Amino acid sequence: EPEVTQTPSHQVTQMGQEVILRCVPISNHLYFYWYRQILGQKVEFLVSFYNNEISEKSEIFDDQFSVERPDGSNFTLKIRSTKLEDSAMYFCASRAASRYEQYFGPGTRLTVT
Amino acid sequence: GQSLEQPSEVTAVEGAIVQINCTYQTSGFYGLSWYQQHDGGAPTFLSYNALDGLEETGRFSSFLSRSDSYGYLLLQELQMKDSASYFCAVGGNNNDMRFGAGTRLTVKP
């Protein structure tokens, strides 16, 4: 069964450094998403992406964040200058057109020290 | 703004039926989804309602009343493996999805 993959599974970085989280959505899906989840808390929407542009972004997704689909398979989230409060699990998700269920990847645990 | 309310914790015994309620206030509404998340895992899709009424998928059913901004997830014949967190989520008109805080379900023998 096709699945969303994410790399790395765990990323440790120092405050102020840039990080890029990578995702490979399911191949025939057209809608892509990034979420984050601070340990023990709810899943928070960051951004959605369709047709090579951002559809919607939350108040969390400020100028420090950017997304890109550099080729036909990868979808990346960049955090330009990480803060301690960016430490969280970051989930990528994708869905097919005219379907509502989103398929989540296993997540990247980001630790900012 | 947007807000979703669901109980923080529910406990039930194996074989029982449990209902997890969700009320929402959103500026745009496209549908109500339910996701399950086991500790350390990723959310997995359970159910979706765009229209009023009941959707059934095996042991799980989900209900929506748009006029009441209310929905619920019904889990029947509870099994130990159903112990997890359950999130309701509202899809908006701009391809976003906002999650509730989650309900932690504990199933006891």
- Pair of tokens at residue B77: 């014949």
Give the residue with greater pLDDT, A113 vs B28. A113
Nearest Cα of chain B lies from the Cα of A80 at a distance, in angstroms, of 23
Of A48, A91, A100, the CB nearest to B96: A48
Phi-psi region of A100 (alpha: psi -120 to 50; beta: other; left: phi over 0): alpha
pLDDT at A19 over 90: yes
Task: Please report, in tens digits, the pLDDT of each residue of chain B (109 residues total).
Answer: 678 999 999 999 999 999 999 999 987 788 999 999 999 999 999 999 999 999 998 999 999 999 999 999 999 999 999 999 999 999 877 788 899 999 999 999 9
Give the residue with greater pLDDT, A70 vs B80. B80
- Minimal-distance CA residue of chain B relative to A49: B95
A-chain CB neighbours of B48 within 8 Å are 100-101
